[in-house]
Structure 1
Amino acid sequence: MAKKIWSITSNIIGGLLFIAICFLVFIVFSSRLSGEDPTILGYQMKVVLSGSMEPTFQTGSIISIRVSNDPSSYQKGDIITFHFEDKLITHRILEVKKANGQVSYKTKGDNNNGPDLWTVTAQDSVGKYTGFTIPYVGYALNYTNTKAGIALLLIVPGIWLVITAFRRKEIEVKEA
């Protein structure tokens, strides 16, 4: 009975691990092929690379943002991700400015002493933080963007499939 429970448990854990690895492979390859971050049902996952928004979310976390069709609709207090000098930054809106029919935002990182020196136009914004954060997973996801990380994502599932096939064959031989 204990062997059967152990077998079922290990199969479930192995299956979940395999699904997680496949999901990571999908994310990495879809972002490589499209040149953009993958969007799933209007949401994108972003890796936090600095501590400017601590304690709201920690460095190395993954956050979820909702990509907006109307980036001029954000309000004071919203946390947005935006483009600035070829970087993506996620900061809180301090002030919404409207001039000549154009909307712009004054932003600040929660952990920064003062507001950002620039103003973000609505066109530069990517999306709004949804409140969903997974701590520390960003470090692993960042690693998957390296050559070694991509190789690991291809090798580990292959080894896992081979081991699983041998296990199943071994069980079939014992049952026969």
Structure 2
Amino acid sequence: MKRSVCFMLISFLVALFLTLNANASPEYIQFVIASFSMRPTFEVGDVITVQTDVNVSEIYAAPYPDGDIIVFHHPIQPDAIFVRRAIQKSYANGTYYFQTKGDANPNPDGWEVPEENIIGKVIAYSRTHNAGTWNDIAYNVTWYTNSTISNFNFSQLDKLITFDITGYMSQAENGFCNVTIPKNLLRCESLYEWQVRLNGTNIAYTATQNDTHTFIYFTHSYSTQNIQIIGTEVIPEFPTVVLLSVLTVVTTLNIVFMKRKLNTKLRQRLTDKKRKYSEINKRFYEQF
């Protein structure tokens, strides 16, 4: 009895690994990753886009990082939904079966997934990185991509965002990436002033914007690439409050310095006048 209750509890927790987004279209649905089992491909909080109208015979099964990533109902507890990489595929009695494995797990899962349990395969995902906090406001950069993102960094000094991008999923012909950047963090006066560099070389991109964000889209080939996105204007290095404080201190010091300088001049003038009057008085007394 205890084992049954424990298994039901585990199944319930596994079902919470992903949260279904009901706003998606019938062919494409979204889930939120809530487990570390697919690291480094997915992190907790990533939102994956799943294509549901797939031909299971075309799902590609291979070890990391090449196999398709599938979303499916657990073979024993169908209420539990899992996301795993298909590493092996077999066919028996008119049905396809898939051996699966989490990218972060040392061993394959202890089951085979029949084709009727498959919800779909992952074709893209979105991830948000924190670029920093200024004036108590956190600035986030978001990707929507079919590739693996790593080593994110934002440099105020160089006015750039940099990250590594690796491969792409679902046997796509090309990798793509759409980056959402807050204008208060990094921006350009013109959309044509942005620079997108792949391994140090400028590449073509498409840029759009709204009042608060810029959206930069580009494609890339299959391999590990370093991406740099360079703007022309960046968030101030110091918060506004700090700048005002510094300005106040500088102004105060300047006033004090000017007062001291003025007082020195006045004292010098008084000294000169005293010396002059002293000489006049001396001459006056010498005449008498």
TM-score scaled by structure 2?
A: 0.33
- Which position in structure 2 is the counterpart of 1:95? 88
- Where is the strand percentage greater, Structure 1 or Structure 2? 2
Which of 32, 41, 44 is the equivalent residue of 1:56?
A: 41
- Which position in structure 2 is the counterpart of 1:117? 110
SS of residue matched to 2:29: strand
- Which position in structure 2 is the counterpart of 1:81? 71
Q: Is the 8 A contact 2:54 2:121 kept in 1?
A: no
- Which position in structure 1 is the counterpart of 2:100? 107
* Paired residue type of 1:52: S
- Give the CA deviation at 1:75: 1.4
- Which position in structure 2 is the counterpart of 1:141? none
The alpha-carbon distance between structure 1 residues 135 and 88, as it changes in their structure 2 partners (threshold 3 A), is farther
CA RMSD after TM alignment:
2.1
CA distance in 2, matches of 1:44, 1:70: 16
The C-alpha deviation readout for 1:94-122, integer Å capped at 9, x for no partner, is 10011122101000000001000011011
The C-alpha deviation readout for 1:44-82, integer Å capped at 9, x for no partner, is 110111000011010121111111253343111010000
Runs of 4 or more off by more than 4 Å in structure 1?
none
- Which position in structure 2 is the counterpart of 1:46? 31
TM-score scaled by structure 1?
A: 0.53
The alpha-carbon distance between structure 1 residues 83 and 41, as it changes in their structure 2 partners (threshold 3 A), is closer
SS of residue matched to 1:123: helix
* Paired residue type of 1:74: I
Higher relative contact order (CA 8 A, sep 6+): 1
Identity of aligned residues (%): 32
- Where is the helix percentage greater, Structure 1 or Structure 2? 1
The gaps in structure 1 that reach 5 residues or longer are 1-34, 137-176
- Give the CA deviation at 1:133: 2.4
CA distance in 1, matches of 2:39, 2:21: 26
The alpha-carbon distance between structure 1 residues 45 and 105, as it changes in their structure 2 partners (threshold 3 A), is same
CA distance in 1, matches of 2:113, 2:22: 20
The gaps in structure 2 that reach 5 residues or longer are 1-19, 62-66, 130-288
CA distance in 2, matches of 1:123, 1:61: 26
* Paired residue type of 2:70: I
- Give the CA deviation at 1:39: 3.5
The residue correspondences of 1:25-44 to structure 2 (distance < 5 A) are 37-40=22-25, 42-44=27-29
CA distance in 2, matches of 1:36, 1:56: 20
The alpha-carbon distance between structure 1 residues 122 and 37, as it changes in their structure 2 partners (threshold 3 A), is farther
SS of residue matched to 1:46: strand
SS of residue matched to 1:52: coil
